[in-house]
Amino acid sequence: MKKLVYIRKPILLLIILCVNGLSMAQHSNKLKATLDAESKTFNIQQEIIYENNSKDTLELIYFNDWANAYANKNTALAKRFSEEFKKGLHLAKDVERGNTKITSTVDDNYQGLDWEYAPGKDIIKINLNHPLPPKESTKIFITYKVKLPSDKFTTYGYDNRGGYYLKDWYLTPAVYDGEWHLYSNKNLEDIYTDMANTSIELIIPENLFAVSNFHELGKNLEGNVQHIYLQGINQKSGEIIIRPYNQFVKHVTPEITILTDLQSPKYDEISSGISINKVSKYIYENLGDFPHKQLLVSELDYDKDPLYGINQLPSFIRPYEEQFQFEMKFLKTALNSFIKETMFLDPRNEKWVTDAILNYLMIGFVEEYYPDQKLLGKLSSIWGVRNFHLAKMNFNEQYPLLHMLSARRNIDQSLTTPNDSLVKFNQKIANRYKAGLGLAYLADYTGKEHVDRSVKEFYINYRLKPSTAADFKFIVVENSDKDINWFFDEYVSTTQKIDFKIKKVRKMEDSLVVILKNKEGTNVPISLFGIKNDTVVSNYWFTDITDQQAFRIPKNGEDRLVLNYDQTIPEFNQRDNWKSLNGFFSSNKKLKFQFFKDAEDPYYNQVFYVPVLGFNKYDGLSPGMRLHNKTLLERPFVFDLAPSYAPNEKTFVGYGKFNFRKYHGKSGLYVTNYSLRGSTSHFQENSRYSTVSPSIGFGWRPSNLLLNKREALIFRSISVFRDIDPNLQSLGLETDPDYNVFNAKYYNTTNNIINYLSWSVDAQYSDKFTKLAYELEYRKLFENNRQFNLRFFAGKFLRNETAGSTEFFSFALDRPTDYLFDYEYLGRSEGSGIYSQQIIVAEGGFKSKLENPFANDWMATINTSVNIWRWIELYGDMGFIKNKGLKERFVYDSGIRLNLLTDYFELYFPLYSNNGWEISQPQYDQKIRFVITFSPRTLTGLFTRKWF
């Protein structure tokens, strides 16, 4: 028996709405979706009326089926995850995956339609039984099941608390405008679909609550299930959040109705409501009316696209006031949803337009309501922090800072780069910030009112209509009274750097002649400020400086001239942006010593100091002080000095590095490194080594930065100087204490979580030997989640005058002598004890300690391993070693490898080798080997690699 709970709209009004909606929309959808909670599946019956709004007759139609992107390990989504070093989807169980199972596809005559998946496995091609002429429509009926994935992959799907987050979960028409725009799901939030009128009958258990970006017309209860009726007029697709509880609150503001579950534990409900009204009014004033019934602003959407930076610190240490923190969080999420629901640009190829509008409005909100907000918030006033330049930066200065983080690393990409071709840091942060910063730059140059008017006019003219970046450009150019083609031709379309300097200032009787130098040749405007006692007394804009140009400006009592003083221009280098007018010596930058690391301060030569603690068996725990000039942004010239005190030897040890990096372009030969390094430490009691190594290196990479492919060629000369304790007779140091080796090495690496391939060729020359080595490493993660590792090494002496007298320069099976002092041995001269059990997989790569492990002629080995359960692997090594005057010898070993963190922390338990069954031999604990890495930079690379 049916029990009517409530119906919000009269039937007649519903019919009128549907008819009026259909007359306006390009397509219409009618869905009946029933949730099977046990199998996490929706059974869907969908009726699609597809209208051909193009000028072409269509023989086929494509539909987005992004729910099927989770189906297997070969979809576009799975491949994208592998590029970002995420293996969750690859290792997932079948029950955790999502997919679409189509059971029936027929036309309006109930004749079957042929269909197939496009290569990405999330786009369906349906072949029509009859051609579809322009301005005509066809009706298609599709019955299918959508198995939801676990939300641990992309936050979409089912969670472990009985909730569901549905987004891009049913079939929607792909866009055709003379060509099909077929964009696979790559976890980029950029589905491209035409707007449509959609009605959904959602059938879910009675104990669940559902909210949607669609308007809820009503619902009723039938037995233990509820039928919820949703409608979207001129919208893209329905987003639905289903939970066992309801945390959403409806806020009816004068401008818009908002449904949200965003909240802050320390910000009360009344204050939250006031802030929501404030943000809603700001959005309305800067964009206009929201054309739909309600705007969904969810915590899930925010978590998917948060405020990056210091906002992501745990809530108990976030330095911002609760009001500011909540309003910025709500503003970004609301703007994101607002623009996505109303603007119909190509989200993959022209996303920079919506990024520019959103971040420009974010910048404007802070300028209007929080002009004194510091980037570090309350931390800026704390002793020990307030002297940092980072603490003095305003909140909006994070935009040029984080954009420049990408540019200084030479991984910046133009704003017109397709969304799926951006490295993750650019896609999530740098390009978005550059886009918003660009509009702020334009507003500063042309006048804020011009850009504000353009943004609002673009929204009003093109909301709920197809639009392009060209439409946006037309409006912006029309509203400006200055030539701003440079913005689109240089700033948006290229990665050319903006970099000016004040080359010289000449004082005249009543004026100043300023010579400006355009260091990069990028033809964009530059601002010049006159500063007196930290107050702006004059401001000028100069244009068309392609190389060097002189300008005359009146004197206004300035004591300093500064380019880009307000930092609205994302300039590559601001360290040469100022000139003092008080004499030569006042123009020199002062030296500033600071603890730890800081943002770049253009008015000082910064030297940072930080305590360090080194360790090896001979030096002991060695405290020291590291001095360097590395700021948060990469810089061309870097020095890094770290003297330390070795208590065991009662002397000083440490290292020093000087490096100059020159970038040449984005691809091909893109970088050259010039370096001078030196270090000193002890390799045995009362025995010191020192090295000096000048080098030059060249790097190559492809134009597609997502390929994670790199090549490098390095030439270096290593001079080693050793002071040896004459009382030590057991070291076997038959070589001269001092020697020099010239080393040339070529690397070729393709880094991927599924397929990893790296190979190198290494040539070394000294007065005692000449040797050549080849190394290959390959890792493969198979579809059955088995990982196979293969390493091959082959080395040959072309000349060896030390053969028979010492093994110091010989190839080694398990523990190279490291005569170049490249490896971080904790006890490099140890032959027994825990320190001798440290292994660095190099040369032979063996784990067992075999007799006569050295080769003074040639060596060839293979190291393999395969996982048998998670991080437990079975390894095996084998090969041949050859010494002069002796026959080659076959060697092998095998055992268990605990691959806890590849290359960083591993344990090896030998089982069987040339030594026999090692596991049954005495003192087995001394045969166990380990790999361990303490280098912070090496470890942080594990986490940053997915971003850069």
- Same structural domain, 428 and 569: no
**What pLDDT does residue 802 have?**
92
Residue 17 in this model has a pLDDT that exceeds 50? no
Whether 52 contacts 58, CB under 8 Å:
yes
- Same structural domain, 732 and 664: yes
CA-based end-to-end distance of the chain:
60
Cα 124 from chain centroid? 30
**What pLDDT does residue 584 have?**
61
**CATH code (residue 691):** 2.40.160
**Rounded mean pLDDT, 762-786:** 94
Helix (H) / strand (E) containing 360: helix 351-369
Q: pLDDT band at 941, cuts 50/70/90?
A: low
Residue 436 in this model has a pLDDT that exceeds 70? yes
Closest Cα to residue 663, out of 409, 401, 948? 409
- Same structural domain, 111 and 42: yes
**Rounded mean pLDDT, 374-392:** 90
Give Cβ neighbours of residue 682 (< 8 Å, ≥ 6 apart).
Answer: 616, 618, 619, 646, 648, 649, 653, 688, 689
Give Cβ neighbours of residue 563 (< 8 Å, ≥ 6 apart).
Answer: 500, 501, 502, 516, 526, 527, 528, 529, 571, 574, 577, 578
Task: Name the domain boundary from 462, 492, 522.
Answer: 492
Establish if 193 belongs to a structural domain: yes
| Joined tokens for residue 27 | 């397509």
- Same structural domain, 101 and 173: yes
Residue 317's identity, in one-letter code, is I
DSSP one-letter string for 622-677: EEEEEEE---SS--SEEEEEEEEEETTTTEEEEEEEEEEEEE--SSEEEEEEEEEE
Q: Which residue has the tokens 């994670």?
A: 708
Q: What does the alpha-carbon distance between residue 427 and residue 336 come to, in Å, rounded to a whole number?
A: 15
Q: State the SS3 of 139-188.
A: EEEEEEEEECCECCCCCCEECCCCCEEECCCCCEEEEECCCEECCCCCCC
Whether 239 contacts 212, CB under 8 Å:
yes
**What pLDDT does residue 935 have?**
67
Q: Which residue has the tokens 């060209």?
A: 470
Helices 469-478 and 351-369: crossing angle in degrees, nearest 10, is 50
Q: pLDDT band at 724, cuts 50/70/90?
A: confident
**What pLDDT does residue 582 have?**
82
CA distances in angstroms from 72 to 100, 750, 751, 760, listed in the order given: 11, 23, 22, 34
pLDDT over 70 for what percent of the chain?
A: 94
Residue 570's identity, in one-letter code, is P
Give Cβ neighbours of residue 792 (< 8 Å, ≥ 6 apart).
Answer: 774, 775, 776, 777, 860, 861, 862, 863
Task: Name the domain boundary from 588, 621, 650.
Answer: 588
**What pLDDT does residue 20 have?**
37
Q: What does the alpha-carbon distance between residue 738 and residue 896 come to, in Å, rounded to a whole number?
A: 40
**What pLDDT does residue 317 have?**
72
- Same structural domain, 72 and 106: yes
Residue 761 in this model has a pLDDT that exceeds 90? yes
| Interstrand relation of 548-554 and 535-542 (parallel, antiparallel or unpaired) | unpaired
Least confident range from 425-429, 490-494, 587-591: namely: 587-591
Which residue stretches of 373-487 are H helix? 389-392, 398-408, 424-425, 431-446, 448-462, 469-478, 485-486
Helix (H) / strand (E) containing 553: strand 548-554
Establish if 695 belongs to a structural domain: yes
**Rounded mean pLDDT, 407-418:** 96
Residue 731 in this model has a pLDDT that exceeds 70? no
Q: State the SS3 of 577-617.
A: CEEECCCHHHHCCEEEEEECCCCCCCCEEEEEEEEEEEEEC
Q: What does the alpha-carbon distance between residue 245 and residue 221 come to, in Å, rounded to a whole number?
A: 17
Whether 765 contacts 742, CB under 8 Å:
yes
**CATH code (residue 195):** 2.60.40.1730
Domain assignment of residue 436, given as a range: 351-492
Residue 6 in this model has a pLDDT that exceeds 70? no
Closest Cα to residue 771, out of 732, 743, 791? 743
Whether 529 contacts 536, CB under 8 Å:
yes
Task: Name the domain boundary from 467, 492, 517.
Answer: 492
Q: What does the alpha-carbon distance between residue 654 and residue 652 come to, in Å, rounded to a whole number?
A: 7
Establish if 759 belongs to a structural domain: yes
Helix (H) / strand (E) containing 91: helix 88-91
CA distances in angstroms from 59 to 107, 141, 263, 744, 782, listed in the order given: 13, 17, 50, 60, 39
Q: What does the alpha-carbon distance between residue 146 and residue 238 come to, in Å, rounded to a whole number?
A: 15
Backbone torsions φ then ψ of 369, nearest 5 degrees: -110, -25
Residue 22 in this model has a pLDDT that exceeds 60? no
Establish if 876 belongs to a structural domain: yes
Closest Cα to residue 174, out of 54, 28, 57, 65? 65
Establish if 336 belongs to a structural domain: no
Residue 3 in this model has a pLDDT that exceeds 50? no
Count of structural domains within the chain: 4
**What pLDDT does residue 940 have?**
63
Looking at residue 394, the DSSP 8-state letter turns out to be B
Residue 2 in this model has a pLDDT that exceeds 50? no
Q: What does the alpha-carbon distance between residue 851 and residue 126 come to, in Å, rounded to a whole number?
A: 68
- Same structural domain, 95 and 226: yes
Average pLDDT of the chain?
91
**What pLDDT does residue 733 have?**
55
Backbone torsions φ then ψ of 283, nearest 5 degrees: -65, -45
Residue 480's identity, in one-letter code, is S
CA distances in angstroms from 299 to 117, 185, 296, listed in the order given: 33, 22, 10
**CATH code (residue 380):** 1.10.390.10
Residue 270's identity, in one-letter code, is I
Residue 14 in this model has a pLDDT that exceeds 60? no
Establish if 273 belongs to a structural domain: no
- Same structural domain, 82 and 193: yes
**What pLDDT does residue 838 have?**
95
Residue 256 in this model has a pLDDT that exceeds 80? yes
Q: What is the pLDDT of residues 60-69, one digit of tens each?
A: 999 999 999 9
Least confident range from 235-239, 330-334, 544-548, 934-938: namely: 934-938
User: What three-state secondary structure class fits 237?
Assistant: coil
**What pLDDT does residue 711 have?**
97
Q: pLDDT band at 902, cuts 50/70/90?
A: confident
Residue 85 in this model has a pLDDT that exceeds 90? no
Q: pLDDT band at 350, cuts 50/70/90?
A: very high
- Same structural domain, 63 and 201: yes
Higher pLDDT, 864 or 21: 864
Residue 616 in this model has a pLDDT that exceeds 70? yes
Q: State the SS3 of 835-883.
A: HHHECCCCCCCCCCCCCCCEECCEEEEEEEEEEEECCEEEEEEEEEEEC
**What pLDDT does residue 319 have?**
87
Establish if 682 belongs to a structural domain: yes
Residue 946 in this model has a pLDDT that exceeds 70? no
| Interstrand relation of 114-117 and 123-132 (parallel, antiparallel or unpaired) | antiparallel
Helix (H) / strand (E) containing 392: helix 389-392
**What pLDDT does residue 804 have?**
85
CA distances in angstroms from 513 to 10, 527, 535, 551, 891, listed in the order given: 76, 15, 21, 6, 78
User: What three-state secondary structure class fits 455?
Assistant: helix
Q: What does the alpha-carbon distance between residue 873 and residue 779 come to, in Å, rounded to a whole number?
A: 13
Put the strands of the sheet holding 58-64 in their side by side order: 114-117, 123-132, 58-64, 172-173
CB atoms within 10 A of CB 456: 16
Q: pLDDT band at 10, cuts 50/70/90?
A: very low
Q: What does the alpha-carbon distance between residue 73 and residue 802 come to, in Å, rounded to a whole number?
A: 53
Residue 309 in this model has a pLDDT that exceeds 80? no
Closest Cα to residue 463, out of 339, 359, 350? 339
**Rounded mean pLDDT, 428-433:** 96
Establish if 261 belongs to a structural domain: no
Higher pLDDT, 715 or 22: 715
**What pLDDT does residue 18 have?**
40
Q: What does the alpha-carbon distance between residue 892 and residue 913 come to, in Å, rounded to a whole number?
A: 5
Closest Cα to residue 803, out of 855, 879, 742? 855
Considering all CA atoms of the chain, what is the largest pairwise distance in Å, rounded to the nearest integer?
Answer: 104
Q: pLDDT band at 534, cuts 50/70/90?
A: confident
**Rounded mean pLDDT, 728-747:** 80
User: What three-state secondary structure class fits 178?
Assistant: coil
Q: What does the alpha-carbon distance between residue 105 and residue 102 come to, in Å, rounded to a whole number?
A: 8
Q: pLDDT band at 312, cuts 50/70/90?
A: low
Residue 340 in this model has a pLDDT that exceeds 50? yes
Q: What does the alpha-carbon distance between residue 694 and residue 378 come to, in Å, rounded to a whole number?
A: 45
- Same structural domain, 534 and 670: no
Q: What does the alpha-carbon distance between residue 114 and residue 798 come to, in Å, rounded to a whole number?
A: 66
pTM of the model: 0.91
- Same structural domain, 607 and 556: no
**CATH code (residue 551):** 2.60.40.10
CA distances in angstroms from 503 to 518, 542, 554, 568, 867, listed in the order given: 10, 15, 18, 21, 62
**What pLDDT does residue 581 have?**
87
Q: What does the alpha-carbon distance between residue 685 and residue 646 come to, in Å, rounded to a whole number?
A: 12
- Same structural domain, 392 and 434: yes
- Same structural domain, 89 and 192: yes
Whether 282 contacts 291, CB under 8 Å:
no
Q: What does the alpha-carbon distance between residue 235 and residue 338 come to, in Å, rounded to a whole number?
A: 12
Least confident range from 8-12, 43-47, 436-440, 736-740: namely: 8-12
